[in-house]
């Protein structure tokens, strides 16, 4: 049986205002190693907020999120940043690469933050770019790459830090069908061959079809878990 | 990180060029302004002090305050040779100075009379270069050289006679009639209006003070520090003598310089305020442009302190670059106007001359001014960078990524 990577207990996120909004409303969930999980739901259902909480980018109102035995809700700001650097990979909807760095530099940048030796950074960045089908594009800057290629660089960057899991927020939203298929194939391959855990927030059916676990969220609650 | 900072500089060339140009022009304006201000005073002090009065003067105690011949020194009792042997001293120049009413048939004027030995004098009173008409008097002769302004006022020319009437040593009458052997243009406007120069022995004779001196001017070797020389000379002073440095001789000149410098400082401060807001504007623009990117970098694991460091580094590279270019570009301007001063004309010239200042604008070539202003602009760059640091430290990744 696979070991749990993320354990979520009674997670709540309430946005205070004239009428308090329960963006995440008492979610309990366990995600185990090697999962390829999609969080689906309509816009505004709370899946991005839930993903932000999982990634330690936002603080919950209550509840706990244990990643590898560490409750990240108790960490200080700097501890959280360091934790994200070493344990979580992010793929964003808008790629979010650093425009002044080349594809290879974008991938190795995260390893630079981890103080890894230069040789290791260069070798791993090359290997990751090759594994996402971007061999020969190492020196290109984001603006010289297509949307699909940029998102593949983002996937390589997310994996560069050797994280426990990758969180992807609408990773295919800005991609055409060919690029989407390519990207999903790559992530599926990484999941199967390297056992990397992926959690997507998406409403793209192409992603949902590939997922082996589908969690439906509505009004901040888990509606179904298949 | 350095590479990241360097590349970030060039991602928005327009903003970077604005920052560099603003810094550069600020340094240039501030340095030019200060160079002229300091240069004019430097020239004036050099003229008054180095050329005419000397950095150090020795008198009988109390003479400088009272300007009385009764407080003269007996040359025979002075250790002039010992003073001249002190390190940094080129020579010790002997003078007898007093006042006299100088008259012609038509007019008269109270004048400063200086008994000197031109060949041993400071550069401004050696007279060879200053004579514009006639010639230098012969030693011990009954001839005088009159400053240009006084000659114009008295309407005298070479060959005319002047009558002198004054009080001599110990209340004796001092009078004499001397022929004008030459007219000299004295660079200091105040002296040029009232100075009469005569041979030292003639002055001693007229003032009934044979063997007396009022002043021993210490002429310094080029580059010698007058304060160091003063320290060496002090033990050689008798109790009855005073050794004054130029700042003590002309305290009002120091006050005028300080007041003028303070006025200039206000103008430069306004300039710095303007540049601060220009630089702050570019930093605000940069932070606003890159807020989303900052959010991403923090999200993927970059500590805020590291991010702030890179951002400050970018800004410092720009301001340092601008400051260096400004400091370098302004140097030829400083050199040019030091040797080619701006001649003032018209009302400006008249206004300046009323204050007995030479109506010419000189610059100084002192690099300290460039360094000071370059450093100040650099510090401004550091301070405005703190805005970026503040924004980064209070950044929330989720909100920033929505920007």
Query: In this structure, what DSSP letter does residue B46 have?
Result: I
**pLDDT for res B74:** 92
Do B213 and B85 share a structural domain? yes
The predicted pLDDT at position A182 comes to 82
Q: Is A166 on the interface with B (CB under 8 A)?
A: no
Are B32 and B138 part of one and the same domain?
Answer: no
- Mean pLDDT value of segment B31-40: 88
Q: Nearest residue of A to residue B299 by CA position? A: A57
| A173: helix, strand or coil | coil
B151 vs A: CB within 8 A: no
Nearest-CA distance B302 → chain A (Å):
7
Q: Are A55 and A88 in contact (CB under 8 A)?
A: yes
DSSP A75: -
Extract the runs of DSSP E, i.e. beta strands, from A117-212. Answer: 165-169, 197-202
Contact at 8 Å (CB) between B86 and B146?
A: no
Poorest-confidence range of A44-53, B71-80, B106-115? A44-53
Report the share of chain B in percent with pLDDT over 90: 38
Place of tokens 């940029």: A150
**Total domains, chain B:** 2
In this structure, the answer to whether residues B264 and B361 fall within a common structural domain is: yes
Q: Are residues B376 and B233 in the same domain?
A: no
CATH number of A4-225: 3.40.50.300
Average pLDDT over every residue of B45-50: 79
Long-range (24+ apart) CB contacts under 8 A made by B82-88 are B82/B236, B83/B58, B83/B216, B83/B218, B83/B233, B83/B236, B86/B229, B86/B232, B86/B233, B86/B236, B87/B224, B87/B229, B87/B232, B88/B220, B88/B221, B88/B224, B88/B225, B88/B228, B88/B229, B88/B232
Give B346-398 pLDDT, tens digit per residue.
Answer: 777 776 665 556 778 888 888 888 888 888 988 998 899 999 999 999 998 88
**Which one of B238, B268, B298 terminates a domain?**
B238
**Does residue A167 surpass a pLDDT of 70?**
yes
Instruction: Kindly state whether B13 is in contact with chain A, defined as any CB-CB distance less than 8 angstroms.
Output: no
ipTM of the complex in this document: 0.87
pLDDT digits (tens, 9 = 90+) for B161-218: 999 999 988 888 899 999 999 999 887 778 888 999 999 999 999 999 899 999 999 9
What is the pLDDT, as a whole number, of residue B345? 79
> What distance in Å separates the CA atoms of residue B142 and residue B169, rounded to the nearest whole number?
19
Specify whether B284 is located in the same domain as B338.
yes
% of chain B with per-residue pLDDT over 70 = 98
Range of the domain at B311: 2-47+253-402
Mean pLDDT of chain B: 88
Give the residue extent of every domain in chain A.
4-225
Q: Is B301 on the interface with A (CB under 8 A)?
A: yes
Res A192: pLDDT: 86
Question: CB distance from B397 to chain A under 8 Å?
Answer: yes
Looking at B238, B264, B295, which one is the last position of a domain? B238
> Which pLDDT value is given to residue B200?
93
Whether residues B232 and B334 share a domain: the answer is no
C-beta of residue B125 within 8 angstroms of C-beta of residue B118: yes
Residue B55 lies in a domain: no
- Residue A78: which of B8, B11, B303 has the nearest Cβ? B303
The answer as to whether B74 is a domain residue is yes
Question: Is the distance from CB of B180 to CB of B162 less than 8 angstroms?
Answer: yes
Q: Is residue B245 part of a domain?
A: no
Task: Report pTM.
Answer: 0.71
Residues from chain B contacting residue A77 (CB–CB below 8 Å): 304
Same domain, B22 and B128: no
What pLDDT score was predicted for residue B182? 94
Residues near A118 by beta carbon (within 8 Å), at least 6 away in sequence: none
B185 and B114 in one domain? yes
Residue-wise pLDDT for B80-125, tens only, equals 999 999 999 999 999 999 999 999 988 999 999 999 988 888 877 7
Q: Is residue B318 part of a domain?
A: yes
* Domain-ending residue, one of B238, B261, B288: B238
Residues B68 and B166 in one domain: yes
Residue A82, SS3 per DSSP: helix
């Amino acid at each position: 049986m696979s070991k749990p990577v993320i354990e979520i207990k009674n997670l709540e996120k309430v946005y205070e205002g004239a009428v308090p909004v329960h963006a995440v409303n008492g979610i309990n969930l366990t995600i185990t190693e090697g999962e390829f999980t999609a969080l689906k739901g309509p816009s505004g259902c709370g899946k991005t907020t839930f993903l932000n909480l999982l990634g330690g980018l936002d603080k919950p109102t209550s509840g706990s999120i244990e990643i590898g035995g560490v409750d990240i809700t108790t960490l200080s700001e700097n501890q959280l940043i360091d934790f994200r650097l070493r344990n979580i990979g992010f793929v964003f909807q808008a790629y979010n690469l650093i425009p002044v760095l080349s594809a290879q530099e974008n991938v190795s940048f995260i390893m630079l933050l981890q103080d890894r030796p230069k040789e290791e950074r260069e070798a791993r960045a090359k290997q990751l770019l090759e594994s996402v089908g971007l061999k020969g594009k190492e020196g290109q800057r984001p603006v010289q790459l297509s949307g699909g290629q940029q998102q593949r660089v983002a996937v390589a960057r997310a994996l560069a830090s050797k994280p426990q899991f990758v969180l992807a927020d609408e990773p295919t939203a800005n991609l055409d069908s060919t690029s989407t298929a390519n990207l999903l194939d790559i992530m599926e391959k990484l999941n199967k061959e390297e056992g990397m855990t992926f959690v997507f927030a998406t409403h793209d059916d192409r992603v949902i079809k590939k997922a082996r676990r589908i969690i439906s969220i509505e009004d901040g609650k888990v509606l179904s878990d298949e | 990180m350095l590479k990241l900072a360097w590349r970030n500089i060039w991602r928005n060339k327009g903003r970077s060029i604005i920052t560099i140009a603003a810094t550069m022009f600020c340094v240039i304006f501030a340095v030019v302004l200060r160079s002229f201000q300091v240069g004019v005073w430097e020239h004036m002090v050099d003229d008054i002090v180095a050329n005419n009065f000397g950095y150090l003067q020795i008198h009988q105690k109390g003479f400088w305050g009272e300007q009385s011949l009764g407080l003269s020194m007996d040359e025979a009792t002075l250790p002039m040779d010992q003073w001249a042997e002190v390190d940094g001293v080129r020579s010790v120049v002997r003078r007898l100075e007093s006042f006299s009413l100088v008259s012609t048939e038509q007019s008269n004027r109270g004048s400063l009379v200086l008994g000197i030995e031109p060949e041993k004098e400071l550069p401004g009173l050696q007279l060879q270069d200053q004579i514009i008409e006639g010639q230098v008097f012969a030693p011990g002769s009954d001839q005088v050289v009159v400053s240009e302004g006084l000659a114009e006022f008295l309407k005298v020319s070479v060959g005319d006679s002047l009558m002198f009437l004054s009080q001599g040593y110990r209340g004796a009458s001092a009078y004499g009639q001397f022929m004008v052997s030459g007219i000299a243009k004295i660079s200091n406007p105040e002296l040029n209006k009232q100075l009469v120069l005569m041979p030292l022995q003639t002055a001693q004779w007229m003032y009934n003070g044979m063997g007396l001196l009022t002043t021993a001017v210490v002429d310094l070797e080029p580059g010698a520090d007058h304060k160091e020389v003063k320290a060496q000379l002090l033990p050689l002073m008798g109790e009855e003598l005073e050794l004054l440095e130029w700042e003590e001789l002309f305290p009002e000149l120091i006050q005028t310089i300080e007041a003028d410098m303070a006025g200039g400082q206000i103008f430069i401060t306004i300039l710095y305020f303007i540049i601060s807001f220009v630089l702050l504007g570019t930093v605000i623009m940069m932070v606003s442009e890159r807020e989303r990117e900052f959010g991403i970098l923090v999200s993927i694991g970059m500590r805020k302190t590291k991010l702030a460091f890179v951002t400050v580094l970018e800004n410092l590279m720009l301001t340092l670059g601008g400051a260096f270019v400004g400091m370098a570009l302004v140097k030829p301007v400083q050199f040019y106007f030091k040797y080619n001063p701006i001649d003032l004309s018209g009302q400006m010239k008249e206004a300046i001359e009323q204050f007995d200042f030479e109506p010419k604008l000189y610059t100084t070539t002192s690099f300290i001014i460039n360094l000071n202003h370059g450093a100040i602009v650099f510090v401004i760059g550091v301070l405005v960078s703190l805005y970026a640091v503040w924004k980064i430290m209070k950044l929330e990744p989720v909100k920033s990524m929505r920007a």
